Amino acid sequence: MPTIWTVALKTWRTRGVTVTERLAPPPARTAAHLVVADARPHQVDELMPLGVSLANADDADAVVLSGLPSGWSLTNGRRSTAGGWHLFADELANAAIRPLPRFVGGADITLELRRAGLTIDRQALHFEWIGGRIGSPPLAGCAQTARRLIRRHSLVNSRNGSHKRSGRQD
């Protein structure tokens, strides 16, 4: 619905002359909305900054986060439902996602800016955690485990004098 402005006129007399001035309407206020920073991938076990702030928000506005996987948490705010968190504007600056230990992969999360129970803005975000140390192949640990199992398999077969596969795994 468009905003209807009434034109205000200001009239005064000076030195015998009547002056009428048209007053401009007040500037339109931009609607409150979420401001989201680009999320870069983080290493396994690192906290992921939420990277969200509010523009033109009131003190009573809140952000509701949903879609957080089971067992995960935020550093600020309060848990509201399963996978949901409730944060006020002053809690957003240092809010970070704490995933489960050793989690590698992505998470899709929805943020809603709410005022008086109504959703004003909604944005979907994707966060990513990557494994391994920078500069090392991500599957190095898996390759070492596979070599160890192959060696054990070979030793068991050589002791038995058999060429059959051993069902034993340590």
Tell me the C-alpha to C-alpha distance, in Å, between residue 73 and each of 42, 65, 104, 109, 156: 16, 11, 16, 12, 46
d(CA 15, CA 33): 50
Q: Is residue 158 predicted with pLDDT exceeding 60?
A: no
CB neighbours (10 Å) of residue 6? 5
The yes/no answer on whether domain 33-130 falls in CATH 2.60.40.10 is: yes
Q: What is the pLDDT of residue 22?
A: 63
Q: What is the largest CA-CA distance in the chain?
A: 123
pLDDT in tens, 45-62: 999 999 999 999 888 899
pTM score: 0.60
Question: Residue 168: is its pLDDT beyond 80?
Answer: no
Lowest mean pLDDT among 3-7, 10-14, 135-139: 135-139
In angstroms, the CA 7 to CA 11 distance is: 13
Q: What are phi and psi of 149, to 5 degrees?
A: -65, -40
Q: Write out the two tokens for 53.
A: 């702030």
What is the signed CA dihedral for 69, 127, 90, 60, rounded to 10 degrees?
-70
**What are the residues facing 49 on neighbouring strands?**
96
For residues 95-106, give the mean pLDDT.
94
